[in-house]
Each structure stands twice: as C-alpha cells, then as structure tokens.
Structure 1
C-alpha cells in the first residue's frame, strides 16, 4: 500500500510538471532547481523525509566529501534520508539526493554507502533526468510520467506493475537503453569520485553484489535494480575499471563515522529486528569491547522491549567510553522511559555538555525536569525548541503544560491554542485563544498574534459545511 502511495504521488507530480505547453522546451538549470525544490517540499510536507538529525548529518557529510572531489553541477546539493525500507537511492533534478533507510541498513561499511551516493551525484552532475525530459518529444506524457515516477520511486512489485501500464514495446526499449547509458556514465564518474574521496573503489562493486545476493535469497527484485538497470553489465564494467584504472588504489572503508551507529538508528521490521539482534550478539561475542556493537545491541534490545538488557549494554558501553554522546543520550532516554527521571537527567546533562545543540537531548531534558516537578527548568528547555520541527512531537504542547503548572495562564492558553490549532481541533483552539485574549494586554505583539489566530480559525469554521441533517424517517 505504501509503495502504491509513493507511485501515485510521483505520477501525479510528474503529470503536473510535464503536462504544460512548455513541456517539450529545453530543460534549463533554473528549471532543474525549481523542480527539485518543489519535489523536496512535497516530500517534506508528506513526511517522506527523515527528521533524524544524526542520520541526515551523516549522509550530508559523506555527500559533501564526495562533492569536493567531483565535477560539481551548477546548483547546491541537498542530501536527505528517505523514509522507506526499500533498498534504493535516487537523485532528482537540481542536486537533491535521497538515500532510503532500507539501503543504509544493508551496506556493510561506509564506503559502500558512499559508492551509492557517488553514483547518484554523478547522475545529478550529468543532468540525466534533464536529458530524459529534453528528449520527451519521443514519448507521450503518460510514458514520460511513468519513467520519471519510476526513477524517483524505486518501488517494489506493485509499483513496477503499475509502471508497466505506461510502457509500450518501442518506448520501453528506448528508455531502458537510455537508462543503461546513464548507468555506465554514472558508474564511470562515480567510481572516480569515490576513489578520490579516499574510499576504496571496490566498494561500489561490492554493493551491487550484495544486491544480487539479496535478490537470490529473498526471491524478490530489490527496488535498486528497478531504477538502476543492467546490473550484470555494471558489475562487469566496474570490475574492468578496477583492474585497469584503479588497480593500485587503496582507500578506507569508514571515514566520516561508523555505519553501525547509523544503522542502529533505523528501526527495521519485527522479523529483521530479531535477526539484527542475533547478528549483533554474535559479533559482540567475538569483540566484547566494541562500543559501537554494544550501543547498537542496546538500541535493538530497547526496540524489542528488552529494557533491562538494553540498560546493561549501555552501562558496559559507558564503562568503555564514558564521554560517548550517543550512549549517554540513549541511557538518559531509556531511564526516562522507565520512569527514573533523576537518572535520566543525570545522563542527559552529560550528553548536553558534549553537544548542547541536539534537539532530542534538549526535549528529553525538558521532559525529565517536568517529571521531577521542576517546571521552570523544563520550560527553559522546551522554549529552546519552540521554532523547531520535531518528529512525532509538538513542542507547543510541552510549553503549554509547563506554563500551566507555573500558573502563567496567558501563556498556557496561547500555546495550548497553537497545539490544538495544529491538531485541527478548531473549537477547542478557539476557546483557548479567546481565554488567552482575556489575559493579554491589548496592543502587544502577542495580542495581535492571538487575534490573527482567532480570525483564521473563525474563517475556517465558517467555510466548513454544516453536517447533513438526519435522514427523514418514513411515516409509520
């Protein structure tokens, strides 16, 4: 079902973008920037993009490292983790590169992830999507929409079946040949970017072989193959480059950070989670002093509800690395979840001294202070986040509750009104904004903001149609 949502989202987007009088004109750099930005904004609005700061910072650092050793295109780049378990990555026009969570979980090291990203950067630098659009005279709008949607989607069986509806023999042959030409160029440039960035170039081939093995074991086609065709040819071509151009190239498997940490931040499906726990336990038995493995196992145990085991893993990790921010933060979050606010605060404050800018730590500290009854300190931490967008949280709620406990009713009603407004609870939001108005001095910026919110909600309420009257009962 989710893959179908992805497909239809991109299909509609493609039709909107291309079903215009200028669809057949040259596709300029400015056009690329505009399209890429619009796609990014739509994805962001639809919560398709991960808001995990650490994950996004990680892929951005890898991407920017590769960019520094590439022939940059004429636009800035944005690297983002895509909320999908599908094993895929894709680049849209204008320098937007997306890496699926599912792909991050299957790579064996950072170099393999960097290889995928180098390949996508090469697609973007070479303006391959722009080339498809400019050649659209040979395709009708429906076929073009199918190709573009497929390039962006990377879906599974349902999506690929849907894409097939848009193919006829001639168009399909042309588009596949065209895509394979793109793949060869992206591989040739990508492996160069990878090697010059300090990674070992064979990682690019290793990833393709992992995908081939995945296909054999799972009996399903990885979505990466659907959007990146000609895998056997690609492996042969890349191996020939390794034997000639990169025969003496060395390089590192990990440069930016440890991929095990990043994989621990991604929650897999239940069956895969048990499998991951088993793999981590086995790896830890061979290397019991490995902090990264202890941390990853703690996360897996926590996700499986094995709280005590998770805490033991974290304690062992802290004994080995007492100033590890990730481990300190995770210990604090786990103690907060178990109701031990004092210990939660202890560990979270240590994490905050290392990185005071982490939103997750800041939010958790606010919650810990609130749980301890220290509402003033809780409020201070919550207010630091009032302009931030948090995944799964509305900071206005926490701010409102803190003001309420401090008996500051004007602020309580105002922030609770903001929370309810976002929840689309118009009647309740209006009630609290009007209560806030009673406590607020006229002529102040806050009074103006409250009045504007009331006007907006009142207008929305008037626009909503009255509920249908009950059906007339037949006379007895």
Structure 2
C-alpha cells in the first residue's frame, strides 16, 4: 500500500533554528577525537534536538512513508545497533526519496538514507557498511563534540551552532559553499577534522559490521567504487561532500577489514526485494525503464535472487494497472515464501485493485495470527477494512496502531479517513492534528484539537482527552521554540 511518496518542497532543514548570520565557515578549530562532549549537550538535550530536527525534516523533505521499506531499514539498522559500542540513545532509521547518493545522522540517534543509496550498493553488506558508519557518528557524538569546541570559541547560541552543523550535514551543497568562502586555514581545519571523524566512524563501523555478521570488506569495496566513479566529477554526490573519501581513508578501511577472518555471506533476498521496490516505485523513472533495469539485472543475478526482480516487475505491472500480469507472479512468489511481508503487502494491493478486499482480509488475518501487531500487516489490514467500508473495525485497529506507532503518519491518515466516513469531525480533526504535530506545525495542531474539543460533548471523557493533548502540545511547542 501507499504506492507513491508525495513530493514535498525541499526547504533548508536548519532554517527554523539556525542564526541567519552564522555560517558553517566560522574560523574554528574542532576538538580532538578524544573529547567527551559533556560540556555542551547532555544526552537528554540531544534527544530534544533530534526530535525537533526530525519534525522539520518531515515538513521539508520527501520522507518515504512506505511500511515495507521502513520495516526493512529498521530491522537492518537495529541489527547493527545491537552490535555497536557506546549506544546511549534510541535509534530511528528512515529514508528520503532522493536519487543522490547520501546518508547522514544527527542528534538523538536519527539516521537518514537516500533512496539513491540502494541503487549503488550492490549487496546488503555494502548498505550495512554505510549504516554502521552513520551509527558510529552518533555513538561517538561527533556533532556534540564539534559543538563543544565551537561553543568555547563563538558567541553564538547553542541553537544556532546546532543549526549550522545540521545544515552542513543535511544540505551539504550549502555547507560546502559556505566553507569555500572561508580562508584556506579554516577550510583545512574543517577538512582535517572531518577526515579524522570519518576514519573513527569507519573503525567503529567495521567492528560493528563484523559483530553483526556482515562482510567487513564491503566497506572499502563500496567506498572505493564510489571514489573511482566520481574521482573526476565536477559535481560529486552529497555523500562525498559530507563524507570525503581520500585515498588514505580507503586504504585504512581496507587494511582494517583485512585483519578480520574471511566470511562467506549468503546474498540477502530482502535487500534485493527492497532495492527492486525502490526501482519500481521511488527511483523516479518511467515504468518501461524500470522493467528494463529489472530485466537486465535479473539476467546477471544469482538464481536465489531472481524472485526479487520478479517482485519488482510485479510492482510495476500493479502500478500500471496490468493486474493480469502482476497476479501470477505474486501468487507464485507467495507460494514460495508465504510469510514474506513484501509479497503480502503487494498481494493486498492486488486484491484491493481487483475489488476482492475480502480475500486480502482473510490472507492478512492468517498472517497476523503468526505475526500479531506486525506494523506492515496491521496497516495493510486496516486499509483493507476501510476498502470494505468496515469503518468501526478499522478504527479499532488504527487506535491500537497509532498508540504503538505514534510517529507513523500512515496510521493517522487512515484514522482520519475512517472518521470522515463516519462523520466524526472531532476525531478527524484530532488525527490530522497529530500529523501536523509530527511536522512541527504546532499552532495548527493545537487549533485542530481546540476545534475537536468544542465539538465533543461538554465535560465528556473525549473532551478531557482533547484538552489534555492540547496541554501536551503547548509544552512541546514551547520546548521547540526555546531551541531557536
């Protein structure tokens, strides 16, 4: 479900909290690798900043709200986090629809992956090497360390410093433009610090890869291929602006990987399923071009990976309403692997398109009996109930879902849709208010909840719930504004 990510206007992520007079090009000397960062931000403060940045990103970037891809990224990321050192924050992994190769991490354990990264990483271990590197940036608190040194040398507020740092990470072209306007000495101090951070993140990342059971040689292999491809490019991808790849860094990572015993890693089908889904739905190419890529890549693939390319083609057929071509492929794939969420999600879409939502309901109920509360299955199940006009049932499912997954915009959208169908204006307003709050639109969210409270029966439990939520949102808004 949720076949296409909505295109949002790209705004500067840090604009709402960065000082307009502060440039990334401040003449600074950044801290040594051993600095603890305790003098600037506490872990709790990092969590507050991270939450604020994430809300701003939801409002400014084309975040991919795809339940199946989110589950895959989340599982991969937390497999790595479980094997990382110095983990002090929870981690959140998400994808931005952008064909440029990039990944970045920021306060509070948030790690963003561009969809273009999947098009260049040829294996799950290569993707995992990038994710492990970003996890290390968080666990080693590289942003906080940089802020610690800047706070000692600059009269700017912590909020402005934090904003400028995020600008350089999330909008590397803007960050690099500011750096090139600085003096040569300032540029060199920035680059040297970046390189030392990158090497440290590589070192911790390789250790995490090994402990998590991935191929450690994937890191120098992917980075080396990236460096070779863009060595003479006039406009390198954003990842190379924020993560420079000088030869000594690649050599260093290759030497570190050599000290680990060789591992025989089987190809990960789920990675290639995710990759095929991105090609079919998020690469920004026409259906014929997607089918051509899937065909060409399938011919070179190992037999065990062929289902991924068949799945990708089925999605293209499904999205172009060629249901007769999509159905036999999906049925065969499901027969081979009946509990695979990639296939169950696509079959759910197929049955809805064929006006056979009851078949999808039966299929999902069976799947949920073995994987209760699974987010992918649950959100599809709620959608199937809506398509059958079973609004009360859908609302019961979605109330539980949004309680367990409050940051998933999909759940709130469906809850709004169900309440609109039942003419429950107050509950619709409340669901839309939650979406607004997730995008840092605090005043509008509070306004919607206030309207819902006015509609609700006087002194009812529902009205009390709305009023309590208004109080919570006002506290969150004031905390968010205090960061400016």
1:123 is aligned to: 137
Aligned partners of 1:166 and 1:238: how far apart in 2?
31
CA RMSD of aligned residues (A): 4.3
1:5 paired to 2:12: yes
Measured after TM superposition, the shift of residue 331 of structure 1 is 0.8
Measured after TM superposition, the shift of residue 251 of structure 1 is 4.7
Aligned partners of 1:14 and 1:295: how far apart in 2?
50
1:171 paired to 2:171: no
Aligned partners of 1:371 and 1:50: how far apart in 2?
23
1:343 is aligned to: 359
1:229 is aligned to: 244
2:478 is aligned to: none
- Aligned residue for 1:220, secondary structure, equals coil
CA spacing shift, 1:251–1:430, aligned 2, 3 Å: same
2:285 is aligned to: 271
1:148 paired to 2:168: no
- Equivalences for residues 67-466 of structure 1 within 5 A: 67-73=81-87, 75-85=88-98, 86-93=100-107, 95-136=109-150, 137=152, 148-149=165-166, 151-153=168-170, 155=172, 157=173, 159-160=174-175, 162-164=177-179, 167-212=182-227, 214-215=229-230, 220-243=235-258, 245-246=259-260, 248-252=261-265, 258-266=270-278, 267-271=281-285, 274-284=288-298, 287=303, 290-303=306-319, 306-385=322-401, 387=403, 388-392=406-410, 393-401=412-420, 403-404=422-423, 412-419=424-431, 436-437=456-457, 443-449=459-465
Tell which deviates more after alignment, 102-111 or 146-155.
146-155
- C-alpha offsets along residues 6-43 of structure 1, whole Å, 9 cap, x if unaligned? 364674599699x9xxx999831881524432332123
- C-alpha offsets along residues 48-74 of structure 1, whole Å, 9 cap, x if unaligned? 55554544444444344434444325x
Measured after TM superposition, the shift of residue 334 of structure 1 is 2.7
Q: Tell me the TM-score normalised to structure 1 length.
A: 0.74
Preserved contact between residue 298 and residue 311 of structure 1 (Cα < 8 Å): yes
Preserved contact between residue 328 and residue 350 of structure 1 (Cα < 8 Å): no
Measured after TM superposition, the shift of residue 361 of structure 1 is 3.6
* Number of aligned residue pairs: 435
CA spacing shift, 1:251–1:43, aligned 2, 3 Å: farther
Aligned partners of 2:46 and 2:119: how far apart in 1?
26
Measured after TM superposition, the shift of residue 111 of structure 1 is 0.8
Aligned partners of 1:9 and 1:61: how far apart in 2?
32
Aligned partners of 2:155 and 2:43: how far apart in 1?
24
CA spacing shift, 1:10–1:51, aligned 2, 3 Å: farther
- Aligned residue for 1:295, secondary structure, equals helix
CA spacing shift, 1:421–1:160, aligned 2, 3 Å: closer
Preserved contact between residue 348 and residue 361 of structure 1 (Cα < 8 Å): yes
Measured after TM superposition, the shift of residue 273 of structure 1 is 6.3
Tell which deviates more after alignment, 111-120 or 205-214.
205-214
- C-alpha offsets along residues 349-389 of structure 1, whole Å, 9 cap, x if unaligned? 34433433234543443443444354554444344335345
- C-alpha offsets along residues 90-144 of structure 1, whole Å, 9 cap, x if unaligned? 2334544333333234211111122112222333333333332233256785996
- Aligned residue for 2:263, secondary structure, equals coil
Q: Which is greater in Rg?
A: 1
Q: Tell me the TM-score normalised to structure 2 length.
A: 0.73
Aligned partners of 2:333 and 2:294: how far apart in 1?
14
Measured after TM superposition, the shift of residue 454 of structure 1 is 11
| Structure 1: 5+ residue stretches without partners | 405-411, 457-476
1:408 is aligned to: none
Aligned partners of 1:447 and 1:332: how far apart in 2?
36
Preserved contact between residue 103 and residue 113 of structure 2 (Cα < 8 Å): yes
CA spacing shift, 1:113–1:14, aligned 2, 3 Å: farther
Higher relative contact order (CA 8 A, sep 6+): 2
Measured after TM superposition, the shift of residue 183 of structure 1 is 1.9
CA spacing shift, 1:180–1:386, aligned 2, 3 Å: closer
